[in-house]
Amino acid sequence: MRILIFNWRDIKNPAGGGAEILTHEMAKRWVLSGHTVHQFSSRFPDSKKQEIIDGVTFIRQGKWWTVHFYAFFYYIKNKNLFDVIVDEVHWFPFFAAVYAPRKTIALTCEVANKLIFRIFAYPLALGFLLIEKIYLFLYKKVPTMVISPSTRDDLVANNHIKENIVVLPMGLTVPKNIKPSNKESIPTIISVGRLNKQKGTLDTIEAFGLVHKKISNSVLWLVGSGEKTFMREVNLRIKTLGLENAVKVWGFVSEKEKFTLLSKAHILISASVQEGWGLTIPEAGLMSTPSVVYNIAGFRDIIVQRKTGVLVDTNPKDLAKEVVQLLENKTTYEIMQNKSLKHAQGYSWDATAAESIKFIKRNSTI
């Protein structure tokens, strides 16, 4: 099959995350299975307009807010070259189902819904919500791959046909020669991901401030980058809480360095307000680092409560309370370490790729 993927970012984009890892891990395996795969995504600083990575051909045009328009014109010009379009939904899709309805398979990571109002100012949020409602109506019969039962349930609640949805098993990508390191000598908490409102960065800092009052030698590592305007808020919050010497902002790091930091930290925390599938939780688990996170869709699908991690109510006080309890109880912590490791070892991208290509073939018109 000749597969075209539409995704606003790709595996090399510094702003990319778990969705881009998922996409690439499937795509390169589809290539190994004999399919041809092209991915159309936005440009980023110093990016190439076209390149081949792991057998996948990447075409880059436009910015993240214009790539959808460029993708439309690219397809119209090259429509005879492709049998299937995998249309990835991040807030909203590329609307390929409108101009290529018989070829479109959706890949939906999450349904934003009311979350939009927590991220954007009112007029803009209302516009995004309207677009989402329109797309959900247009895509309710489109064959759709999702990454968690929570996302499937959200789509069904919005009148998507359940029989047209498949929940893909997830996997983990671990750099070669990565081995668990010794934990830091002082209590070290880590947060991994983009630094922004959606990821709950300010709640994370506030929660750590409460932890630091109880455990004075504890430190927080923020691993990830953010927009300049938001980073000013981050730095101001750190300064206001008097945490300048206890919080380290690592910025964007390589996958190898990310796993090394996860291995050295004691606990992964996240105050994210919504996730399609919390990839960093099993990544941390693979490094014997348990997680304490907000009880949200996407995390509930991964955490086995108080066995592989802890789900808490969505407020910094509860997040801090559970972190402190776990750090102060060595026996509970070591048991959770072992269970989080065992749980993480069950994930495989091979299973993800196999299930996804089977679904694509079953719903393809060729």
Handedness of CA 86, 254, 333, 207 (dihedral sign): negative
Classify strands 104-108 and 144-146 as parallel, antiparallel or unpaired: parallel
In CATH terms, are 2-171+348-362 and 188-344 the same topology? yes
CA-to-CA separations, 272 to 40, 106, 313, in angstroms, rounded: 28, 24, 12
At 114 the pLDDT is 61
Whole-model pTM: value is: 0.82
At 365 the pLDDT is 79
Instruction: Give the Cα separation of 109 and 81 in Å (integer).
Output: 27
Chain position carrying tokens 């808020």: 233
Instruction: Give the Cα separation of 266 and 333 in Å (integer).
Output: 9
Instruction: Give the Cα separation of 215 and 219 in Å (integer).
Output: 9
Handedness of CA 2, 38, 81, 365 (dihedral sign): positive
The one-digit pLDDT tens for each residue of the chain (366 residues) are 999 999 999 999 988 888 999 999 999 999 999 999 999 999 999 999 999 999 999 999 999 999 999 999 999 999 999 999 999 998 889 999 999 999 999 999 888 776 677 667 778 878 888 888 999 999 999 999 999 998 999 999 999 999 999 999 999 988 888 888 899 999 999 999 999 988 999 999 999 999 999 999 999 999 999 999 999 999 999 999 999 999 999 999 999 999 999 999 999 999 998 888 899 999 999 999 999 999 998 899 999 999 999 999 999 999 999 999 999 999 999 999 999 999 999 999 999 999 999 999 999 877
At 98 the pLDDT is 97
Q: For 2-171+348-362, CATH number?
A: 3.40.50.2000
Cβ proximity of 308 and 285 under 8 Å? yes
Tokens of 18: 């778990």
Each domain of the chain, given as residue ranges in start order, spans: 2-171+348-362, 188-344
What is the spatial order of strands in the sheet that 56-60 belongs to? 50-53, 56-60, 36-41, 2-6, 84-89, 104-108, 144-146, 165-167
188-344 adopts what CATH topology?
Answer: Rossmann fold (3.40.50)
At 349 the pLDDT is 95
How buried is residue 325: exposed, middle or buried, by Cβ count under 10 Å (0-12/13-18/19+)?
Answer: middle
